Chains A and B, each alone.
Chain A
Amino acid sequence: MALILLPSLLAAEAGGRKQFELDVETVGEALRALPVANLLLDEQGELRRLVNVYVDGADVRFADGLETQLTPTANVRVVAAVAGG
């Protein structure tokens, strides 16, 4: 089961849950299964520009994006980009 880790604002929007264990094959499947999917993906299903997703420490934008494959022990961390004010 892949482990998905959320930052605090998203955890609050997910009913207080910071972690989800999901039986999924890709990053896209994992994000779409979360109760905060619409905060991570826009209305066309694309990863929002300032949302970063790391699989075992590697940015999925430098892999296959939402199609990046997940191993059964993958650690998926969602992080808001360093921006804002």
Chain B
Amino acid sequence: MAVQLSVGTRKGLFLFRGEPGSGAWELEGPLLSGWSVYHALVDPRDGTLYAATNNWAYGGTFHRSNDLGQTWERTEQLGLPEESGLKLAATWHVEPGQEEGTLWLGGDPGVLFRSDDGGATWKVNDGILSHPTRDRWQPGAGGMCCHSIQVSDGSLYVGISAAGAFRSDDGGDSWAPINSNVAAEFQPETYPEVGQCVHKLLAHPNQSERLWQQNHCGVYRSDDRGDSWERLDGNGLPSGFGFPLALDANDPDVAYVIPEESAENRVTSDGRLGVYRTADGGASWELWSDGLPDQAWAAVLREGFGSDAQGLYFGTQSGSVWAAPHSGGWMEAARDLPPILSVEASEWP
């Protein structure tokens, strides 16, 4: 079974078809020329291709394609209610919901939308928009983006930087902060209720109690749906700072991160491009760099790391796409693309 990679860049969307471990990838694109594609994925339910699209002049919006990018429809109804006093600055992440036709879309300034018609129309989530702690949320360098949305065993999770992680057990009506034990070392109070800077939040697809997050202040694992977190950096990780995170659907103890040197110097740690892997729930980490360059001052953004049953895939801000089977070396699938914002993998029949 081949893989399709949906690679969002600052200058459009590229689709790659091939197999991890093979150097030959078929390239299509750029699609959506003129748009920065913060995130794109193929809906596993029906094959529709979605994209969270942004333009410096025309704002943030959402596109979908029923023919894998040959033609596109753009939502004409997406925005925040006037009484909120807020305006939509960008769209960041799209996530299929549990019900047929349902989608979730995260955006800046820390907002979440729901669609029940496959993305044609959207309704803002009032529980996040009017969250009682919103006045304590502060935007980070990337804005106040709702970049992580997870739908898992009846619960919803969002990660918003720099507001924190939140869980809803009632379909999105109400949201509880889940930031206990998670540090916010950039604030006067190190462990506040909210304000932590989540960089990426994932729920394990087959063990719903287990969450992972790459945070501004460390890597964390939770075994109780976010009620408490254990900090995991050290034990082989060169730095707790980074953005992307990937999991292994077959093994909840496996996770992958790509650390950066620090918040003040956002390049790959030790001047090398390295993926770090844990196979014991984060107790120890090992560098996995076979095939990756030893000298590289690269950066991989929060959406730039994807995985599936066949392998792992990431894209750098310097425009390279790397792919590897779960056991094997990394191979460069493409280079010299525009800065890569997102990578998602899907089956290609």
Q: Do A and B bind each other?
A: yes
Residues of A within 8 A of B (CB): 8-10, 12-13, 35-40, 42-44, 48, 50-51, 80-81, 83-84
Question: In the complex, are the beta carbons of B57 and A84 less than 8 A apart?
Answer: yes
Residues of B within 8 A of A (CB): 33-35, 55-59, 61, 74, 76-82, 87-88
Question: In the complex, are the beta carbons of A12 and B56 less than 8 A apart?
Answer: no
Chief secondary structure at chain B's binding surface: loop
A80 to B58, CA, bound (A): 8
Question: In the complex, are the beta carbons of B61 and A38 less than 8 A apart?
Answer: yes
Instruction: List residues of chain B with CB within 8 A of the CB of A40.
Output: 58
With contact pairs A9-B34, A43-B87 given, residues A50 and B57 touching in the complex (Cβ less than 8 Å): yes
With contact pairs A48-B59, A80-B57, A84-B57 given, residues A38 and B33 touching in the complex (Cβ less than 8 Å): no
- 13 contacts across the A-B interface (CB closer than 8 A): A9-B34, A9-B55, A10-B58, A13-B74, A39-B58, A39-B61, A42-B87, A43-B79, A48-B59, A80-B57, A80-B58, A81-B57, A83-B57
State how many angstroms separate the Cβ of B13 from the closest Cβ of chain A: 14
A84 to B11, CA, bound (A): 11
Instruction: List residues of chain A with CB within 8 A of the CB of B59.
Output: 39, 42, 48
With contact pairs A13-B74, A38-B76 given, residues A51 and B58 touching in the complex (Cβ less than 8 Å): yes
Instruction: List residues of chain B with CB within 8 A of the CB of A50.
Output: 56-57
A1 to B74, CA, bound (A): 28
Q: A37-B76, A38-B61 are in contact. List 9 more A-B contacts (CB 8 A).
A: A9-B55, A38-B76, A40-B58, A42-B87, A42-B88, A43-B80, A43-B87, A44-B87, A84-B57
